[in-house]
Amino acid sequence: MKILVGVKHVPDTETKIKIGADGKSIDAAAVTKWIISPFDEYALEEALRIRDARGGGEVVVVAAGPPGAQASLRQALAMGADRATLLQDERFDLAGPLARARALAAVARAEQPRLVLLGKYGVGTDEGQTGAMLAELLDWPHTFAVSKLELGQDDFVAEHGIEGAIEVVRGGLPAVITCDKGLNEPRYPSLKGIMQAKKKPLDVRSPADMGLGADELDGAPPLVWEALELPPRRAGGQRIEGDPQSVASELVRLLHEQARVL
C-alpha cells in the first residue's frame, strides 16, 4: 500500500515568536528551530506502522513551503519514510488552507496513494480545514482527528472523540484521514535512520510543475491574514505578606472577590 503523508514545516512550539515587519506574519529569521508540526508526526508514525505491519508498501511525505521545509522532510525520511516531495514556493507560508489542499491534491493525483494521512491541523494556524478540503478536491471519503484507525483491504474503521462519546466512522479506500494525539507515540529518528535519510530521494518541484497556476495560490484566497499581534503581557503576581493567619484570610478573600473561584 502506498501512503501519502502531508507534513507542515512550523516553528518549534517552544520558540519565542516575533511579529514580522509586515504586521501579519511571524519573523522567520527570529525562529531558531523549525520542526514537523506535532500532529503530522502522528500521521507519519501511523503510516510507518501500517507499512511495517503489512510487510511492504511505500510511505511518501510531502510538504508545501519554502526551501527550509526540506529540513522537516529530511527528518521524516530519518524517521523511516521512503521518499519525499517538496512543492517549493514562499507563498505557501501565507497561503490559506485551500491553496495547501490544492497542492496536496496535485501530488496525490500524481502518486495515486491508497491513503492520505495528515495531522488534524498545523500548529500556529490551527485551521483544521486542509484535510477536509483535500478530500473534497479528490472526491474521497474523509474523517478527522482520529485516535484509532484500523485498515482492511478496501476500507477503514476510525474512531474520534466527540463531546461525551466516541464516534466510529467506516469508509472505503482511498481516503483522507487526519490524525490526533493518542493515535500512537511517534518515534525518534535513529542514528542509522539519519544517515540513510541523506541518500533517500527528496524531489523538489514548483507549483507550476504540478499544474498549479498563480491564481490557485494567491488569487482571491477565501482566507486572508490582515494582522497578527502577540497577546498582551500578563500582569505581575500579587504578593501577600503578614503572619500565616492573616495571609490565609487575605488569600481566601482574593480568591472569592477577585478570582471568583470560591
pLDDT band at 219 (very low <50, low <70, confident <90, very high): low
Peptide bond between residue 232 and the one before it cis (omega within 30 degrees of 0): no
Q: Are residues 121 and 166 in the same domain?
A: yes
Three-state DSSP state, 240: coil
Give this prediction's pTM. 0.85
Q: Is residue 247 part of a domain?
A: yes
pLDDT at 218 over 70: no
Q: Is residue 228 part of a domain?
A: no
pLDDT of residue 221: 63
Q: Are residues 48 and 78 in the same domain?
A: yes
pLDDT band at 144 (very low <50, low <70, confident <90, very high): very high
Q: Is residue 224 part of a domain?
A: no
Q: Are residues 240 and 209 in the same domain?
A: no
pLDDT tens-digit series, residues 88-117:
998 887 778 888 999 999 999 999 999 999
pLDDT tens-digit series, residues 28-75:
888 889 999 999 999 999 999 999 999 999 999 999 999 999 999 999
How is residue 249 written as a grid cell? 484570610
Mean of per-residue pLDDT scores for the chain: 91
Residue 240 domain boundaries? 236-262
CB environment 164-203: b (16+ within 10 A), e (fewer): eeeeebebebbbbbbbbeebbebeebeeebeeebeebebe
Q: What is the mean pLDDT of residues 192-213?
A: 93
Q: Please report, for the domain that includes residue 193, its CATH number.
A: 3.40.50.620
